Amino acid sequence: MNFTIAAFYRFVSLPDPAALRDELRAAFSEEDLCGSMLIAGEGVNGTMAGSAETIERLLDMLVEKTGLDRADVKFAHSEERPFGRLKFLVKSEIIAFRKAKVDPTQAGNYVQPQEWNALIADPEVLLLDTRNHYEADLGTFNGAIDPGIETFSDFVTYVRENLDPAKHRKVAMFCTGGIRCEKASAFMLQEGFSEVYHLKGGILKYLEEVPEQDSQWHGTCFVFDRRTSVGHKDFEAE
């Protein structure tokens, strides 16, 4: 079987996350769907795999229930089942940021993949990798700073101890699929940084849409499934 893999997130107020979990379980427990989805009062975050038809049904349901923008979904394919189980989990956050309370709906400026190279070429821009250090070890963008963090919540400490809103006036950040840097950009705005940008769709969307010959990415991108990491070649048209 050829599995379609869909990675997505959506920050949106959900008054009853448990009810949505129960609806999803009822709709897909007998299907070929696998992977994990986190559901919280702030939205949904998941990477799921299944037949093309099952993934379409799932996305249709998420569009209806959460307002998910299908254009923001990152797709990949695998000839092997990439996840062992199917999990719909209710959490307090869809991406843990324990050391600061953040309103993720008040995020920084989106930058489309096609515009990213021009932004990070600006010498006044501080380019931050918001991922964990072991992810940055596999690959990153030219000129990016690796904060060396163990968990995403450590990003709060790094920013407060190492960055200054008065000195670092333009900050651009990136992560795997866009969710971490979106929440991190909201945090930095709360901390007083005036110009904050983040890569829309994350590294995965960049690898998908920017040709390798024009790319400022080096190495591979760590992913949280059995593929381990992906690069430009994984998004080439067949």
Q: Which two three-digit tokens encode residue 8?
A: 């997505």
Q: Which two three-digit tokens encode residue 73?
A: 């979904």
Pairing label, strands 3-11, 34-40: unpaired
Helix or strand or coil: residue 224? coil
CA distance 34 to 53: 13
Q: Which two three-digit tokens encode residue 196?
A: 């904050």
Task: Give the model's pLDDT for residue 238.
Answer: 44
| Residues labelled as active-site residues | 175
Domains of the chain: 3-90 (3.30.70.100), 109-234 (3.40.250.10)
Nearest C-alpha neighbor of 178 from the set 122, 101, 95? 95
Ranges under pLDDT 50 in the chain: 238
Q: Which two three-digit tokens encode residue 218?
A: 């080096």
82 DSSP assignment: -
pLDDT tens digits, 35-93? 999 999 999 999 999 999 999 999 999 999 999 999 888 888 889 999 989 999 999 99
Pairing label, strands 195-199, 217-219: unpaired
Tokens 């070649």 correspond to: 233
Q: What's the pTM value of the predicted model, to 2 decimals?
A: 0.81
